[in-house]
Amino acid sequence: MNGEMQGKVCLVTGANAGIGKATALGLARMGATVVLLCRSEARGRAAVAEIERRSGSRALHLLVADLASQRQIRRVAAEYLERFERLDVLVNNAAVLAWQERRLSEDGLELTFAVNHLAPFLLTGLLLDRLEASAPARIVTVASGAHRRAPLDFDDLQNERDYSPFDAYCRSKLANVYFTYELARRLEGTGVTANCLHPGVVSTALFRGMRRWQRIAIWLGRPFLLTPARGADTAVYLATAPDIAGVTGKYFEKREAVRSSPVSYDAELAGRLWEASEALTQSRS
Protein backbone atom coordinates (compact mmCIF):
# COMPACT_ATOMS: atom_id res chain seq x y z
CA MET A 1 0.00 0.00 0.00
CA ASN A 2 1.35 3.45 -0.91
CA GLY A 3 0.32 6.76 0.61
CA GLU A 4 -0.63 8.81 -2.44
CA MET A 5 -4.21 9.23 -1.19
CA GLN A 6 -3.44 9.33 2.53
CA GLY A 7 -5.93 11.57 4.33
CA LYS A 8 -8.43 11.48 1.44
CA VAL A 9 -11.94 10.10 1.85
CA CYS A 10 -13.50 8.41 -1.16
CA LEU A 11 -17.07 7.13 -1.58
CA VAL A 12 -17.68 4.45 -4.22
CA THR A 13 -21.20 3.29 -5.11
CA GLY A 14 -21.89 -0.26 -6.23
CA ALA A 15 -18.64 -1.26 -4.55
CA ASN A 16 -19.36 -4.88 -3.64
CA ALA A 17 -18.57 -6.30 -7.09
CA GLY A 18 -17.15 -5.62 -10.53
CA ILE A 19 -15.77 -2.20 -11.43
CA GLY A 20 -16.90 -0.70 -8.13
CA LYS A 21 -15.03 -3.21 -6.00
CA ALA A 22 -11.94 -2.93 -8.19
CA THR A 23 -12.10 0.87 -7.89
CA ALA A 24 -12.42 0.65 -4.11
CA LEU A 25 -9.46 -1.73 -4.00
CA GLY A 26 -7.33 0.58 -6.12
CA LEU A 27 -8.10 3.56 -3.89
CA ALA A 28 -7.46 1.54 -0.72
CA ARG A 29 -4.07 0.47 -2.05
CA MET A 30 -3.21 4.16 -2.46
CA GLY A 31 -3.92 4.85 1.20
CA ALA A 32 -7.36 6.46 0.92
CA THR A 33 -10.14 6.00 3.42
CA VAL A 34 -12.71 4.22 1.27
CA VAL A 35 -16.44 4.12 1.96
CA LEU A 36 -18.22 1.35 0.06
CA LEU A 37 -21.88 2.02 -0.67
CA CYS A 38 -23.55 -1.32 -1.40
CA ARG A 39 -27.11 -2.59 -1.76
CA SER A 40 -26.49 -5.79 0.21
CA GLU A 41 -24.95 -5.68 3.68
CA ALA A 42 -23.70 -9.26 3.40
CA ARG A 43 -22.04 -8.68 0.03
CA GLY A 44 -20.72 -5.35 1.21
CA ARG A 45 -19.10 -6.89 4.27
CA ALA A 46 -17.57 -9.61 2.10
CA ALA A 47 -16.15 -6.94 -0.23
CA VAL A 48 -14.70 -4.99 2.71
CA ALA A 49 -13.03 -8.14 4.04
CA GLU A 50 -11.57 -8.97 0.62
CA ILE A 51 -10.27 -5.45 0.06
CA GLU A 52 -8.73 -5.39 3.54
CA ARG A 53 -6.96 -8.64 2.82
CA ARG A 54 -5.70 -7.59 -0.61
CA SER A 55 -4.76 -3.99 0.20
CA GLY A 56 -3.64 -4.17 3.81
CA SER A 57 -5.88 -1.18 4.54
CA ARG A 58 -8.03 -0.91 7.65
CA ALA A 59 -9.55 2.41 6.58
CA LEU A 60 -12.61 0.83 4.98
CA HIS A 61 -16.22 1.54 5.83
CA LEU A 62 -19.58 0.22 4.64
CA LEU A 63 -22.82 2.04 3.94
CA VAL A 64 -25.90 0.11 2.82
CA ALA A 65 -28.67 1.44 0.58
CA ASP A 66 -30.70 0.42 -2.44
CA LEU A 67 -30.09 3.20 -4.94
CA ALA A 68 -33.41 2.40 -6.62
CA SER A 69 -35.05 4.06 -3.61
CA GLN A 70 -34.83 7.83 -3.23
CA ARG A 71 -35.85 7.43 0.39
CA GLN A 72 -32.82 5.23 1.00
CA ILE A 73 -30.53 7.57 -0.96
CA ARG A 74 -31.56 10.46 1.30
CA ARG A 75 -31.07 8.31 4.39
CA VAL A 76 -27.61 7.07 3.38
CA ALA A 77 -26.47 10.57 2.36
CA ALA A 78 -27.46 11.84 5.81
CA GLU A 79 -25.59 8.91 7.37
CA TYR A 80 -22.48 9.73 5.35
CA LEU A 81 -22.60 13.39 6.40
CA GLU A 82 -22.95 12.39 10.04
CA ARG A 83 -20.06 9.91 9.99
CA PHE A 84 -17.48 11.59 7.74
CA GLU A 85 -16.19 15.14 7.94
CA ARG A 86 -14.93 15.32 4.37
CA LEU A 87 -15.48 13.89 0.91
CA ASP A 88 -12.59 14.19 -1.50
CA VAL A 89 -13.78 11.80 -4.22
CA LEU A 90 -17.25 10.56 -5.14
CA VAL A 91 -17.31 7.71 -7.65
CA ASN A 92 -20.79 7.17 -9.09
CA ASN A 93 -20.41 3.62 -10.33
CA ALA A 94 -23.55 1.64 -9.45
CA ALA A 95 -25.69 0.61 -12.42
CA VAL A 96 -28.31 -1.90 -13.47
CA LEU A 97 -29.53 -3.32 -16.74
CA ALA A 98 -32.99 -4.90 -16.51
CA TRP A 99 -32.64 -7.48 -19.27
CA GLN A 100 -36.00 -9.22 -19.04
CA GLU A 101 -38.75 -6.63 -18.80
CA ARG A 102 -39.53 -3.03 -17.88
CA ARG A 103 -39.46 -2.71 -14.10
CA LEU A 104 -40.32 0.14 -11.76
CA SER A 105 -38.46 1.43 -8.73
CA GLU A 106 -39.98 2.01 -5.31
CA ASP A 107 -40.75 5.55 -6.51
CA GLY A 108 -42.65 4.33 -9.59
CA LEU A 109 -39.83 5.22 -11.99
CA GLU A 110 -38.34 3.02 -14.69
CA LEU A 111 -35.62 1.09 -12.88
CA THR A 112 -32.66 1.58 -15.25
CA PHE A 113 -33.17 5.35 -15.47
CA ALA A 114 -33.79 5.55 -11.70
CA VAL A 115 -30.60 3.72 -10.67
CA ASN A 116 -28.21 4.72 -13.43
CA HIS A 117 -29.07 8.42 -13.68
CA LEU A 118 -31.42 9.71 -11.00
CA ALA A 119 -29.54 7.98 -8.16
CA PRO A 120 -26.17 9.64 -8.89
CA PHE A 121 -27.96 12.91 -9.62
CA LEU A 122 -29.67 12.88 -6.23
CA LEU A 123 -26.76 11.46 -4.23
CA THR A 124 -24.29 13.94 -5.69
CA GLY A 125 -26.62 16.82 -4.95
CA LEU A 126 -27.07 15.75 -1.35
CA LEU A 127 -23.29 15.49 -0.84
CA LEU A 128 -22.29 18.54 -2.85
CA ASP A 129 -21.78 20.90 0.10
CA ARG A 130 -19.40 18.39 1.70
CA LEU A 131 -17.50 18.01 -1.59
CA GLU A 132 -17.17 21.78 -1.93
CA ALA A 133 -16.03 22.10 1.70
CA SER A 134 -13.36 19.44 0.97
CA ALA A 135 -12.15 21.06 -2.26
CA PRO A 136 -10.14 20.34 -4.24
CA ALA A 137 -12.48 17.38 -4.74
CA ARG A 138 -13.54 15.16 -7.63
CA ILE A 139 -16.74 13.59 -8.91
CA VAL A 140 -16.23 10.61 -11.22
CA THR A 141 -19.20 9.03 -12.99
CA VAL A 142 -18.96 5.71 -14.79
CA ALA A 143 -20.79 6.20 -18.08
CA SER A 144 -20.35 3.97 -21.15
CA GLY A 145 -19.64 4.05 -24.85
CA ALA A 146 -23.19 2.73 -25.12
CA HIS A 147 -24.33 6.34 -24.68
CA ARG A 148 -23.73 6.78 -28.41
CA ARG A 149 -26.44 4.29 -29.39
CA ALA A 150 -29.74 5.83 -28.23
CA PRO A 151 -30.76 9.50 -27.86
CA LEU A 152 -32.92 10.63 -24.97
CA ASP A 153 -36.63 11.06 -25.65
CA PHE A 154 -37.73 13.84 -23.32
CA ASP A 155 -41.34 12.89 -23.92
CA ASP A 156 -40.58 9.35 -22.71
CA LEU A 157 -37.81 9.49 -20.11
CA GLN A 158 -39.43 6.53 -18.34
CA ASN A 159 -39.13 4.32 -21.43
CA GLU A 160 -42.81 3.48 -21.49
CA ARG A 161 -43.11 3.15 -25.27
CA ASP A 162 -41.56 0.17 -27.04
CA TYR A 163 -39.35 -0.72 -24.08
CA SER A 164 -35.97 -2.17 -24.98
CA PRO A 165 -33.66 -3.11 -22.07
CA PHE A 166 -30.49 -2.19 -23.90
CA ASP A 167 -31.88 1.07 -25.30
CA ALA A 168 -32.95 2.05 -21.79
CA TYR A 169 -29.42 1.36 -20.58
CA CYS A 170 -27.90 3.39 -23.44
CA ARG A 171 -30.16 6.35 -22.68
CA SER A 172 -29.24 6.22 -18.99
CA LYS A 173 -25.56 6.32 -19.93
CA LEU A 174 -26.15 9.34 -22.18
CA ALA A 175 -27.87 10.91 -19.19
CA ASN A 176 -24.64 10.29 -17.21
CA VAL A 177 -22.69 12.29 -19.78
CA TYR A 178 -25.21 15.15 -19.86
CA PHE A 179 -25.18 15.18 -16.05
CA THR A 180 -21.39 15.38 -15.92
CA TYR A 181 -21.14 18.23 -18.40
CA GLU A 182 -23.91 20.26 -16.77
CA LEU A 183 -22.50 19.57 -13.29
CA ALA A 184 -19.06 20.75 -14.39
CA ARG A 185 -20.57 24.00 -15.67
CA ARG A 186 -22.43 24.56 -12.40
CA LEU A 187 -19.34 23.79 -10.28
CA GLU A 188 -16.99 26.11 -12.13
CA GLY A 189 -14.84 28.00 -9.64
CA THR A 190 -15.68 25.77 -6.66
CA GLY A 191 -12.59 23.54 -6.81
CA VAL A 192 -14.75 20.47 -7.47
CA THR A 193 -14.29 18.74 -10.81
CA ALA A 194 -16.72 16.42 -12.60
CA ASN A 195 -15.67 13.91 -15.24
CA CYS A 196 -17.10 10.71 -16.68
CA LEU A 197 -15.67 7.69 -18.44
CA HIS A 198 -16.16 4.65 -20.61
CA PRO A 199 -14.64 1.70 -18.71
CA GLY A 200 -14.55 -0.60 -21.74
CA VAL A 201 -16.62 -3.74 -22.19
CA VAL A 202 -16.14 -5.41 -18.83
CA SER A 203 -17.21 -8.78 -17.50
CA THR A 204 -19.49 -7.69 -14.62
CA ALA A 205 -22.74 -8.56 -12.88
CA LEU A 206 -24.59 -6.36 -15.39
CA PHE A 207 -24.84 -9.48 -17.52
CA ARG A 208 -26.92 -11.27 -14.90
CA GLY A 209 -30.54 -11.71 -15.87
CA MET A 210 -29.89 -12.18 -19.57
CA ARG A 211 -31.91 -14.60 -21.60
CA ARG A 212 -30.24 -17.90 -22.40
CA TRP A 213 -29.17 -16.96 -25.92
CA GLN A 214 -27.74 -13.67 -24.62
CA ARG A 215 -25.73 -15.50 -21.95
CA ILE A 216 -24.34 -17.85 -24.62
CA ALA A 217 -23.28 -14.87 -26.75
CA ILE A 218 -21.52 -13.25 -23.78
CA TRP A 219 -19.85 -16.54 -22.88
CA LEU A 220 -18.50 -16.83 -26.42
CA GLY A 221 -17.19 -13.28 -26.25
CA ARG A 222 -15.78 -13.60 -22.74
CA PRO A 223 -12.13 -13.86 -23.86
CA PHE A 224 -12.49 -10.36 -25.31
CA LEU A 225 -14.05 -8.76 -22.21
CA LEU A 226 -11.96 -6.68 -19.81
CA THR A 227 -11.46 -7.73 -16.22
CA PRO A 228 -13.06 -5.46 -13.59
CA ALA A 229 -9.56 -4.31 -12.59
CA ARG A 230 -8.82 -3.10 -16.10
CA GLY A 231 -12.28 -1.57 -16.33
CA ALA A 232 -11.65 0.35 -13.10
CA ASP A 233 -8.28 1.71 -14.21
CA THR A 234 -9.62 4.96 -15.70
CA ALA A 235 -11.95 5.56 -12.75
CA VAL A 236 -9.04 5.26 -10.31
CA TYR A 237 -6.95 7.51 -12.56
CA LEU A 238 -9.66 10.20 -12.62
CA ALA A 239 -10.03 9.95 -8.85
CA THR A 240 -6.35 10.32 -8.06
CA ALA A 241 -4.04 11.54 -10.83
CA PRO A 242 -2.29 14.84 -10.02
CA ASP A 243 -1.93 15.78 -13.69
CA ILE A 244 -5.70 16.16 -14.16
CA ALA A 245 -6.39 17.99 -10.90
CA GLY A 246 -8.02 20.93 -12.71
CA VAL A 247 -9.60 19.03 -15.59
CA THR A 248 -13.40 19.04 -15.58
CA GLY A 249 -16.35 18.39 -17.87
CA LYS A 250 -14.57 15.70 -19.91
CA TYR A 251 -15.32 12.17 -21.10
CA PHE A 252 -12.43 9.72 -20.73
CA GLU A 253 -11.48 6.39 -22.20
CA LYS A 254 -8.23 4.53 -21.40
CA ARG A 255 -7.08 7.51 -19.32
CA GLU A 256 -7.45 9.88 -22.27
CA ALA A 257 -10.02 12.63 -22.75
CA VAL A 258 -11.94 11.77 -25.92
CA ARG A 259 -15.01 13.12 -27.71
CA SER A 260 -18.35 11.79 -26.56
CA SER A 261 -21.31 11.63 -28.95
CA PRO A 262 -22.15 14.88 -30.80
CA VAL A 263 -25.58 15.18 -29.17
CA SER A 264 -24.02 14.92 -25.68
CA TYR A 265 -22.55 18.42 -26.09
CA ASP A 266 -25.97 20.05 -26.46
CA ALA A 267 -26.02 22.29 -23.37
CA GLU A 268 -29.71 23.08 -23.83
CA LEU A 269 -30.60 19.38 -23.63
CA ALA A 270 -28.30 18.91 -20.63
CA GLY A 271 -30.06 21.76 -18.85
CA ARG A 272 -33.44 20.32 -19.77
CA LEU A 273 -32.45 16.95 -18.33
CA TRP A 274 -31.20 18.65 -15.16
CA GLU A 275 -34.58 20.34 -14.66
CA ALA A 276 -36.46 17.09 -15.33
CA SER A 277 -34.18 15.27 -12.88
CA GLU A 278 -34.83 17.88 -10.18
CA ALA A 279 -38.56 17.36 -10.66
CA LEU A 280 -38.27 13.55 -10.55
CA THR A 281 -36.17 13.63 -7.39
CA GLN A 282 -38.02 16.55 -5.79
CA SER A 283 -34.75 18.38 -5.32
CA ARG A 284 -33.50 21.82 -6.22
CA SER A 285 -29.92 22.95 -6.70
Quick check: 235 and 141 in contact, CB under 8 A?
A: no
What CA–CA distance (Å, rounded) separates 51 from 264?
Answer: 36
For residue 138, count other CB atoms closer than 10 A to its CB: 27
Transcribe 79-132 into DSSP letters: HHHHH-S--SEEEE-------SS--B-TTSSBHHHIIIIIHHHHHHHHHHHHHH
Secondary structure percentages of the chain, helix, strand, coil, to 5: 50, 15, 35
Residues 6+ apart with CB under 8 A from 54: 25, 29
What CA–CA distance (Å, rounded) separates 70 from 123?
Answer: 9
What CA–CA distance (Å, rounded) separates 202 from 217?
Answer: 14
Q: Which phi and psi (to 5°) does residue 111 adopt?
A: -60, -45
**Catalytic residue, candidates 80, 163, 169, 178:** 169
For residue 44, count other CB atoms closer than 10 A to its CB: 21
DSSP state of 226: B
Quick check: 238 and 244 in contact, CB under 8 A?
A: yes
251 labelled catalytic:
no
Among all residues, which ones are annotated catalytic?
A: 169
